[in-house]
Amino acid sequence: MDVVRTVMRRELAAYFATPLAYVFIVIFLALAGAFTFFIGGFFERGQADLESFFVFHPWLYLFLVPAVAMRLWAEERRTGTIELLLTLPASTFEIVLGKFLAAWIFTGIALALTFPFWIMVNYLGDPDNGVILASYLGSWAIAGAFIAIGACASALTKNQVIAFVLGAAICFLFLMSGVELVLAAFRPWAPPVVVDIVASFSLLTHFSELMKGVVSAATAVYLATLVGCCLLVNTLIVELEKAA
């Protein structure tokens, strides 16, 4: 575990060593605010809840989170530091996990900095803080899933732009797998059970449950499995490069 913590600390520090961290946080907060008030109609709704705030998170994450994840491996490959990293006494999985945790904590910091919304809504009314907590956890979990996906994409290339585009595209598929746009591609040929499985992959469906304050075992298991699988795939990609 020491190795995981060491990798995580270095990665987290690397975010704040460049303007990337600050740019990301500022853009995330600005967009979250703009969406909540202008598109979500926070005041017009006249309800003391944060639904108009959380509902846009998956869409914000869709292009912001792959930008956080894209450098995790691609940068190491481009600069050659991956050789330094992989010849230190650690297993590939420990390094994969450390990198994932760093990026996830980083998005957690950005998310935590939205606390003024929570203060505001509590000042204006009497919201259900349990629902808000569940929504925060759900939002952070979606970010985690996107990071795990983005990290895999990053491990495939030394080009951060490719890592970004690939990561965003895969995240989009997972986000949207519940809507007709994606399901229509399966319906003509796949049996209904497959279509249902694909639909159940939808992060959007699970997230809307969480936003209602429903934390179900199915959602928790699904998200944990998704992240776990991505980390394993990430490990495999890195290991395969060694054997190439």
Nearest approach, Cβ of 161 to another protein (angstroms)? 19
* Residues 6+ positions from 71 with CB-CB distance below 8 Å: 20, 154, 160, 163
Q: Rounded CA gap, 41 and 208, in Å?
A: 18
In the chain, what are the helix, strand and coil shares in percent, each to the nearest 5? 80, 0, 20
- List the one residue from 30, 39, 84, 161 that touches another protein (CB under 8 A): 84
CB of 102 to another protein, least distance (A): 13
Nearer to another protein, 52 or 154 (CB): 154
Q: Tell me which of 55, 90, 173, 183 binds another protein, using CB under 8 A.
A: 90
User: Which of 83, 128, 180, 196 is in the footprint of another protein by CB under 8 A?
Assistant: 83
Q: Which is nearer to another protein, 51 or 76 (CB)?
A: 76
Spatial CA neighbour of 21 closest among 68, 62, 66: 68
Nearer to another protein, 209 or 241 (CB): 241
Q: H or E stretch including 115?
A: helix 115-124
Cα distances (angstroms) measured from residue 70 to each of 131, 145, 149, 209: 32, 14, 10, 29
Residue 25 beta carbon to another protein: minimum distance, rounded to whole angstroms: 18
In the block, residue with structure tokens 């998310």: 111
8 Å CB contact between 139 and 60: no
**Does the protein bind another protein through residue 242 (CB under 8 A)?**
yes
Residue 236 makes contact with another protein by CB under 8 A: no
**x/- string (CB under 8 A) for another protein, residues 63-82?**
----------------xxxx
Nearest distance in Å: CB 53, another protein: 33
Lookup: tokens for 102: 């760093």
Residues 9/103, Cβ–Cβ less than 8 Å? no
**Residue of 48, 55, 86, 220 interacting with another protein (CB under 8 A):** 86
Site for another protein in 3-62 (CB under 8 A): 3, 5-7, 9-10, 13-14, 17-18
Q: Which of 181, 193, 217, 244 binds another protein (CB under 8 A)?
A: 244
Query: Which residues make Cβ contacts (< 8 Å) with residue 155, sequence separation at least 6?
Result: 72, 73, 74, 234, 237, 238, 241
Q: Does 243 bind another protein (CB under 8 A)?
A: yes
Q: Name which of 70 and 210 has its Cβ closer to another protein.
A: 70
Applying CB under 8 A, which residues contact another protein? 2-3, 5-7, 9-10, 13-14, 17-18, 79-84, 86-91, 242-244
